[in-house]
Amino acid sequence: MDRILFGDNQFFAVNHMSEEKARAQAMKFRDTKAIIDVLDIAYDLGIKTFMCTTHDRISEVCDHIRAHPGRYEDFKIYPCMPYAHKYANAVSQIGVVGTLKKFAPGSMLGAAFRGGMAAAKQDFVGLMRLLVDAEMKMFHGINTEVIFLQNIVTDLLLGLGMKEFFTAFASHIKEKYNAEAGFITMNMPHLLNVLEECGIENPIICSNVNKIGFRMCGGIETYEKIIREKKFRPIAMSVLASGAISPGEALEYVCGLKNIESIVFGASSRGHIKETRDLIEELTHS
C-alpha cells in the first residue's frame, strides 16, 4: 500500500467535531466535478490512492476515471463498504423486500420468497457476497487492490461474536476480485485478536490513531503497544482528531509510530493537501 491515502469524508459532509463545517462541505461538493477537481489536485501531488465509501456519487467519479484512462493510469481506489446510509434510506423508502430487489437481486431474493424472510436472514454470508458484488459494480475496470469492510459492520460483528463472517469476507474478496480484504474499526486491539483467531495473517486494519485518543477504544497505550509488537498492517485515520490537533503535532505523533504502514486523510484545498503530504514525507524520512 502507498504511504499516503486520500479519504472522502470532506466530500460527503462528514465532520465529527463540527456540524457547521459539515454543512459547508456539503454545499461545496454538491457538484461531482468539485470532487473530481480535488482528486486531480491530490493525484498531481503524487497521492495515487483514493479510499472512499460506496456513496452513489462515487459511481460518477468512477465513470470519469474510466473515461480518461491515460490521465489516471496508476490511480487506485480502495472501496469501503457498505455505505450504511444508502441501505437505511432504502429500507425507510421502499421497505426490506424492495431494498433486497434493488441491491441484492437473484438467489437471496428467491430464498426470501421460498423460505420467508427469516430464512434469508439466516444466510448472512450469502447476503454479504451479493451485497459486496452489488457495491463493486461501480468500480469495474478500476484498480481496487484492497476492499474494506466499514466499521459499522466490522464492530457490530465483533460485538455479536460472528468471527466466521470475517473469514468469509476475506475469502470472497480474494477469490472474486483478486484483492485483499481490509477492515475498518473503532476497536483495533479486539479486532486484531479476532482476525488472528480466524487465521487471517498480517491483516490490514484501519483505525483511529491520534495523539489525544479520539475514538480509540482501548486507549492510546494499548494501541501503541500493539502497533509496536504485533504483525499486521495498520492504517491510521482521524490523525487530526477532526481538527482538534494541529497538523504538525498530529503527524509528528503518528509518523513516530514506526510500524504504521499508511496514513489516510481528507482535505479540500491544494494548500492543505500539499502541507499534509509534505509533513508526512518529511517526518517519515526524518
Instruction: Report the C-alpha gap between 106 and 218 in whole angstroms.
Output: 41
What is the pTM for the complete model shown?
Answer: 0.87
Instruction: Report the C-alpha gap between 169 and 149 in whole angstroms.
Output: 8
Nine-digit cell string for 184 = 475498518
Domains of the chain: 4-284 (3.20.20.100)
For residues 62 and 130, the answer to whether their CB atoms sit within 8 Å is no
Q: Name the nearest CA neighbour of 201 among 223, 179, 225, 232.
A: 232
Instruction: Report the C-alpha gap between 178 and 158 in whole angstroms.
Output: 25
Q: How far is residue 67 from each of residues 61, 64, 158, 186, measured CA to CA in Å?
A: 10, 5, 40, 36
For residues 137 and 102, the answer to whether their CB atoms sit within 8 Å is no
Amino acid at 207: S
Q: Name the nearest CA neighbour of 39 among 266, 271, 282.
A: 266
Region of 202 on the Ramachandran plot (φ > 0 left; ψ -120 to 50 alpha; else beta): left
What is the model's pLDDT at position 120? 46
Q: How far is residue 183 from each of residues 50, 90, 167, 227, 245, measured CA to CA in Å?
A: 16, 25, 11, 15, 25
Q: Name the nearest CA neighbour of 235 among 254, 207, 212.
A: 207
Nine-digit cell string for 239 = 490523525
Q: Name the nearest CA neighbour of 237 among 216, 268, 258.
A: 216
For residues 209 and 236, the answer to whether their CB atoms sit within 8 Å is yes
Q: Which of the 8 DSSP states describes residue 150?
A: P
Asked whether the CA dihedral 3, 273, 24, 216 is positive or negative, the reply is positive
- What is the H or E stretch that residue 60 is in? helix 58-67
Question: What does the radius of gyration of the chain's CA atoms come to, in whole angstroms?
Answer: 19
C-alpha angle 19-89-37 in degrees, rounded to nearest 5: 55
What is the full per-residue pLDDT of the chain (286 aa) written as tens digits? 999 999 999 998 655 455 666 566 667 888 999 999 999 999 999 999 999 999 989 999 999 999 999 999 999 999 999 876 665 555 567 665 565 566 655 544 554 444 444 444 456 788 888 889 989 999 999 999 999 999 999 999 999 999 999 999 999 999 999 999 999 999 999 999 999 999 999 999 999 999 999 999 999 999 999 999 999 999 999 999 988 999 999 999 999 999 999 999 999 999 999 999 999 999 999 8
Asked whether the CA dihedral 87, 40, 252, 51 is positive or negative, the reply is positive
